[in-house]
Amino acid sequence: MTALKNKRITIHDVAQRAGVSSQTVSRVLNQRPDVSPETKEKVLQAILELNYRPSGIARSLRLRSTGTLGLIVPDSANPFFAELGRVIEQVAFEKGYSLILCNSEGNLEKESFYLDVLVEKQVDGLIFVGANKASRLHPVLSGAVPVVLVDRDLNGDHLDLIFADNLEGGRMATNYLISLGHERIGCITGPSRLPTSKARLDGYRRALAEHKIPFEKELVVSGDFRYQGAYQGMKKLLSLSQPPTAVFALNDLMAVGAIACAVSYGLKVPEDLSVIGFDDIPLATFFNPSLTTISQPREEMGKLAVSMLLERLKNPYLPSRRFVLPVRLVERESCASRRKA
């Protein structure tokens, strides 16, 4: 035993200690049924005594599986993606997989780099949230690893896809403000190259059209799905000769930024200005005023993404699947009926 302390323990050492062949030790490690209980017990005892640790690299080559999944998100600091990543990691862990998380920061070059890294590390599968609609699962990835797209429709007809009903969510948020008597409704968009932003904006426009409220370009300002971008966008809306009485921010972080800006101008929310967001991040509940928002089913999205990926690993020839998950309105304190002049 002393001689073994200074060298790496191998499967041959275990076999010698147990008095069996290396092939028998291998069968025990791979949980093969063709080993007697007595022999299995001897091998396990030898493994324990020698503190033997199988080589993960060798095992993955043998089984053609690394037991790892990859996840690429565009902004790990965004609470929506942070929570989505938490769910995916938890479910993957429960299924026996570890998760490698990569943050592209919305940068296509960085995104492409991480795609290469994950392929080189031989992840068993990839859950992918593209930086924007220009994202491409480049040729090196084509067929190299199963992929599930989440929250981004990249026109990948041959790929599995999960996203929330962003169009209906935008329509729902705008209809809610209209039901409160608001007609002059501002909109702070996300980056124009994001399909989610476009769909939510389309929902906003559709709701206005359904109520015969004219669409006014000056009421739509660009944001970046972040706090500071919305703060600047809200400044533009408040500088109009006729500022809006309500604002639809296309995610919750921007709704918080819009409210902060309005308060800095001396306005009260919701007495002077109603604000609705999108996502229902945890902050929405605890912010003051608590945020009325459109809730995305993060838990369901994360669980479904892992489930679909593992099904794809078992059967690579499944037809591509597309899930559009419903959203719902969560009423809190940031919206109120329009005050009459």
SS3 letters across 231-266: HHHHHHHHCCCCCCCEEEECCHHHHHHHHHHHHHCC
Render pLDDT for 27-80 as a digit per residue (tens, 0 to 9).
Answer: 777 667 778 888 888 888 888 888 877 655 454 544 467 899 999 999 999 999
Q: For residues 72 and 54, what is the distance between their CA atoms, to the nearest angstrom?
A: 29
The crossing angle, in degrees rounded to 10, of helices 166-179 and 195-210 is 40
Render pLDDT for 164-208 as a digit per residue (tens, 0 to 9).
Answer: 999 999 999 999 999 999 999 999 999 888 999 999 999 999 999
Compute the average pLDDT of residues 324-332.
Answer: 98
* Residue 146 backbone dihedrals phi, psi, to 5 degrees: -65, 145
pLDDT given at position 116: 86
pLDDT given at position 21: 86
Kind of pairing between the strands at 328-330 and 292-295: antiparallel
Nearest C-alpha neighbor of 196 from the set 243, 239, 254: 254
Q: For residues 199 and 206, what is the distance between their CA atoms, to the nearest angstrom?
A: 10
pLDDT given at position 341: 38
pLDDT given at position 55: 57
pLDDT given at position 12: 81
The crossing angle, in degrees rounded to 10, of helices 22-29 and 37-50 is 90
132 touches 106 (CB < 8 A): yes
Kind of pairing between the strands at 274-279 and 292-295: parallel
Give the pLDDT band (50/70/90) at residue 3: very low
Please report the domains of the chain, with CATH numbers, ordered by start residue.
3-54 (1.10.260.40), 68-164+297-325 (3.40.50.2300), 166-295 (3.40.50.2300)
* Residue 125 backbone dihedrals phi, psi, to 5 degrees: -160, 165
Q: Which helix (H) or strand (E) holds 127?
A: strand 125-128
| Order of strands, sheet of 147-150, starting from the edge strand that comes earlier in the sequence | 98-103, 68-73, 125-128, 147-150, 160-164, 322-325
| Sequence letter at residue 306 | V
Which one is predicted more confidently, 264 or 35?
Answer: 264
pLDDT more than 90, % of the chain: 65
pLDDT given at position 54: 64
Q: How many CB atoms lie within 10 A of CB 185?
A: 23
pLDDT given at position 61: 44
Render pLDDT for 129-146 as a digit per residue (tens, 0 to 9).
Answer: 988 877 877 655 556 688
Average pLDDT over the chain reads 89
Q: For residues 204 and 184, what is the distance between their CA atoms, to the nearest angstrom?
A: 12
Residue 108 gets the label, from left (phi > 0), alpha (psi -120 to 50) or beta, of: alpha
Please tell me whether residue 72 adopts helix, strand or coil conformation.
strand
